Amino acid sequence: MSTDTAAAAIPRPPARTASTPVLTGAEAVVRSLDLLGVTDVFGLPGGAIMPVYDPLMDDESVRHILVRHEQGAGHAAEGFAAASGRVGVAIATSGPGATNLVTAIADAYMDSVPIVCITGQVFSTLMGTDAFQEADIVGITMPITKHSFLVKRAEDIPGAIAAAFEIASTGRPGPVLVDITKDAQQAEAPFVWPPRIDLPGYRPVTKAHGKQIQAAAQLIAESKKPVLYVGGGVVRARAAEELRTLAESTGAPVVTTLMARGAFPDSHTQHLGMPGMHGTVPAVLALQESDLIVALGARFDDRVTGKASQFAPHAKVVHVDIDPAEISKIRTADVPIVGDLKDVLVDLDAAFRAVTGGTAPDISEWWSFLDGLRDEFPLGYTPTTDGLLAPQHVIQRIGELTGPEGIYAAGVGQHQMWAAQFIKYERPNAWLNSGGAGTMGYAVPAAMGAKVAEPDRVVWAIDGDGCFQMTNQELATCAINNIPIKVAIINNSSLGMVRQWQTLFFDGRHSNTDLNTGHGTVRIPDFVKLAEAYGCLALRVEKAEDVDAAIKTALETNDRPVVIDFVVSADAMVWPMVPQGVSNSYVQYARDHSPAFAEQED
């Protein structure tokens, strides 16, 4: 939804008093960020936002990090938010500056990441005239924001920014846009803090209905084959401990989606891994063969369900989500529960204990089946035959040498799936990726934002050679601003996931997927030279015996960013794999290899 604050959606502040400071709208933007506790923002100035950049230069509380592209600012804000749980902030000018944020805004919307984007707009008197660098960014982003504000008056700025932070961080988190005209930035008005915030219709439900909690507890107690289907909502709700308590009370198996990796420790005996298209066989079949799915902050995404009409045909569903729009959207819930997961999990655990008298039901037969799958189908990979590195080995060693306290941001594609599979995640907020939108170019700027938010943690960007070429300019931002991230380029010289699908579903016709970045004598670009030009330490690894030494060098280097070009096999594939559009019963029971098969669509 959008709001024109000139229409008084945000009430006017109280009357000016002798102690009320008078600030320009631009000064009000900066002062509001100060008072909201913002410490870091990512942005790039331009004509329509220039008034804000003048007082920002003198502000000692807010650190502005000058990016090289506004998309980088948006993804950095996402990485900052995803790693820390705090609201990330991006700033851009009007027109192309604002539209360059759109991909990151859409990404944040799909993955429920709390960010606030502040954009400049042309003078209000010029709006609608096709003025220089004019774009209706409120209209453009309306479908991909929780809320959009258009601010035309200086006195409305504090209220709009305060409301933006409130909306972004409450209920289901997400992106909020504040578009401010240049005349509003230049005009003066009394600055009143805190402003009155009135958001009619915005009332997130946090407390679930007791009868629904009781009904869910009863279903869990009666179930013979339950599974806890954990989505990214558990991470956003900061409910990992509450999840663990419920899991151990019930004894039920746990699967964590791509967005939920780390919400439940990989080392826990009840964890079956990641479900979905590239999930583990035990996780996929636990959902498919269950008689009860307890969905926690998950949305039954098509990459998890496969053919939705054939997904878990014998299972009843308890669906818990903060967003009522997700309940029964894809799979009808037998027990719908709307509420904050942190509170719901506590209430559900208490109700389950009351129903069972503190003794979990016997589901040993279910566990016998699942443990058999774990023994029969452990996660593994096929050694390469072309003399090049196995990408799975590289990523696994990054995780093992860095450890669970690190942060791992991945781009999109094969390397993303391998990073989700072969790094062991023991805590929430350690795994950052673009799940819903699948945005190439996410990793480097997101890692940058994560390192700003969590400077004492090791932060890796695990990227593909395709993804890396979309946003690698932010390495300059990292080098100049002393943000020493580590970048592992899993360089198979191709658009790997597209190539894999072409191999399987298009008779091996690799149309326009060769990038010429890593194999042979010609490297365009040469990633080592490129990284060095950006002020990074740059290494290239082509032999398995050199992998550990390169990773250790990166871990020991903290005075600049490090980029490692790992030259890996283009023939490596992501397994297991459930083809798109088929039932999850059609699992590729393959650990080390799998034959090609025809994709089956509806």
Q: Mind telling me the catalytic residues? A: 70, 132-133, 182, 497
Which of 228, 258, 225 shows the shortest CA–CA distance to 243?
A: 228
Which two structure tokens, joined as six digits, stand for 385?
């035959």
Spatial contact of 25 and 185, defined as CB atoms under 8 Å apart: yes
Which of 128, 214, 142, 226 shows the shortest CA–CA distance to 176?
A: 142
Which of 292, 370, 304 shows the shortest CA–CA distance to 335?
A: 292
Q: Are strands 562-567 and 537-541 parallel, antiparallel or unpaired?
A: parallel
Spatial contact of 20 and 180, defined as CB atoms under 8 Å apart: no
Task: Give the max Cα distance, the chain.
Answer: 79
DSSP classification of residue 455: T
Residue 133 Cα to chain centre, angstroms = 30
The dihedral over CA atoms of 32, 34, 36, 39, expressed in degrees to the nearest 10, equals 140
Q: Residue 2 and residue 580: Cα distance in Å, rounded?
A: 36
Strand order in the sheet with 335-338: 271-273, 254-256, 226-230, 292-296, 316-321, 335-338
Which two structure tokens, joined as six digits, stand for 24?
């320009």
Spatial contact of 488 and 395, defined as CB atoms under 8 Å apart: yes
Q: Residue 182 and residue 177: Cα distance in Å, rounded?
A: 16
Spatial contact of 319 and 312, defined as CB atoms under 8 Å apart: no
Which two structure tokens, joined as six digits, stand for 526?
């040469």
Phi, psi at 22, each rounded to 5° = -105, 120
DSSP classification of residue 514: B
Which of 568, 593, 101 shows the shortest CA–CA distance to 377?
A: 593
DSSP 349-369: HHHHHHHHTT-----HHHHHH
Q: Are strands 147-151 and 2-4 parallel, antiparallel or unpaired?
A: parallel
Q: Residue 475 and residue 473: Cα distance in Å, rounded?
A: 5
Kind plus residue range of the DSSP H or E element containing 151: strand 147-151
Q: Which amino acid is at 319?
A: H
Spatial contact of 565 and 525, defined as CB atoms under 8 Å apart: no
**Beta-bridge partners for 65:** 42
Angle at 601 between CA 595 and CA 602, to 5 degrees: 145
Q: HSE (CB half, 13 Å, CA atoms) of 279?
A: 33
SS (H, E, C) 528-568: HHHHHHCCCEEEEECCHHHHHHHHHHHHHCCCCCEEEEEEE
Spatial contact of 423 and 394, defined as CB atoms under 8 Å apart: no
